[in-house]
Structure 1
């Protein structure tokens, strides 16, 4: 229990330090997250006293947790590793690393491609009818939810590899269900993307299908390795 408390304390300190640092640079983070529509003529307003202040708190909180996430994952893994077998330890390291890489790739994909596409759709749709004056708080909720949901959806291959490693699902079963995967990815994209235009939903659905197929192929490679060892 002493080790667990120490690792929880280190995780909390890492999160606190990251959030505090992000709050110091919160205005720079706000400008960074406004960049997807910076050239689209959108103006941001605070519609109530303190709205921008609380928005910077949210921004610092989200950003700090994302920055501290590798430390938290490391502390969890370090606590679990001594109780695992050698094969389980060998399996855990690439899963943790792959999960982190895919999550940050999801955030990057959302920031660079998905979020600008969704926001520019709304700007173009309103063009000529209304001026785009957006609440700063609602804008950041939109952006953060979209980025977070995209990062989480990029965890699909990790889940597949874990299921395959445990022997619960085979690569053949995964590949045979590709039609349902396409339907599921389309539905997931419609739910995860706050915008309702088909173009933005397709931008998320296509990578999800690709990630699923990549995960199935990774499971197939693991199966082949197990057979060669046996």
Structure 2
């Protein structure tokens, strides 16, 4: 089947689900996509406004890891400060923080818009699988981001600790925001490992024996990824990222084994 035929079949499936007996044209789908995109953008804009109004507590939460590590660095003879350079530095920082927070606050709504647009094009079994993955992805993503946030003081202490004594470290707001978001994003993405493995198994691309055989190579790749992805180069932070990923890989391996065992039992029952 060509790509065009696949696209037409998808539209027919959406039409049969959303409007039984009626066919939606390509233009109708573009209109629906635009309508849901506008809704998602409006939700993000409203979330940004709310985050702008609640900037003070958000700022306090964001810089808490930095504030916690300052006394430790001061005891080592290192004076460090969070500064805003330029006339508009503080404004740009508040705007970026509000945009990111607004994106997160509006995530339930814009994710629902994506879901509502895609689901009608799926079969019943595909809907169930997609719903399960969506339910699992969100907690793992948030949990990974929170774990990265908890490790921020350790990462800041390690990197700023290289500043010589009697020297002052000035960290701009933009650099701190980029660094903290990168740490949290790396851990959030890494937490999706079991979802990726289960999804590949769902598509029939991997099996449990293949996972067992590839385990040493996967673990090696996890540690290599941890060394490259973490902004710091200390082994502690790398291990704090790698070890949970290894555990999550083991969990995914167990899930795949259980799924294959259930499938084998179901097959034997039908014979």
Measured in 2, the distance between the counterparts of 1:52 and 1:15 equals 22
**SS of 2:168 mapped into structure 1:** coil
Is residue 138 of structure 2 the alignment partner of residue 100 of structure 1? yes
Match of 2:85 in 1: 47
Measured in 2, the distance between the counterparts of 1:204 and 1:165 equals 26
Measured in 2, the distance between the counterparts of 1:221 and 1:15 equals 40
Deviation track 1:102-123 (CA, whole Å, cap 9, x = no partner) reads 11011111111x2222112124
Mapped contact 1:27–1:56 kept (Cα < 8 A): no
Mapped contact 1:150–1:192 kept (Cα < 8 A): no
Measured in 1, the distance between the counterparts of 2:266 and 2:108 equals 33
Mapped contact 1:175–1:213 kept (Cα < 8 A): no
Larger Rg: 2
**SS of 2:171 mapped into structure 1:** strand
Q: How does 1:1-230 map to 2 (within 5 A)?
A: 1=29, 2-41=31-70, 42-112=80-150, 114-126=151-163, 128-230=165-267
List alignment gaps of at least 5 residues for structure 1: none
Measured in 2, the distance between the counterparts of 1:107 and 1:145 equals 10
Q: Give the TM-score normalised by the residue count of structure 1.
A: 0.92
Q: Give the TM-score normalised by the residue count of structure 2.
A: 0.79
Cα RMSD after superposing both structures? 1.7
Measured in 1, the distance between the counterparts of 2:119 and 2:69 equals 49
Displacement of 1:133 after TM fit? 2.8
Measured in 1, the distance between the counterparts of 2:228 and 2:49 equals 33
Measured in 1, the distance between the counterparts of 2:90 and 2:142 equals 26
Displacement of 1:143 after TM fit? 0.5
Displacement of 1:127 after TM fit? 6.7
List alignment gaps of at least 5 residues for structure 2: 1-28, 71-79
Deviation track 1:40-96 (CA, whole Å, cap 9, x = no partner) reads 224211122211211111111112212222322222222222222221111111101
Aligned length in residues: 229
Measured in 2, the distance between the counterparts of 1:101 and 1:22 equals 22
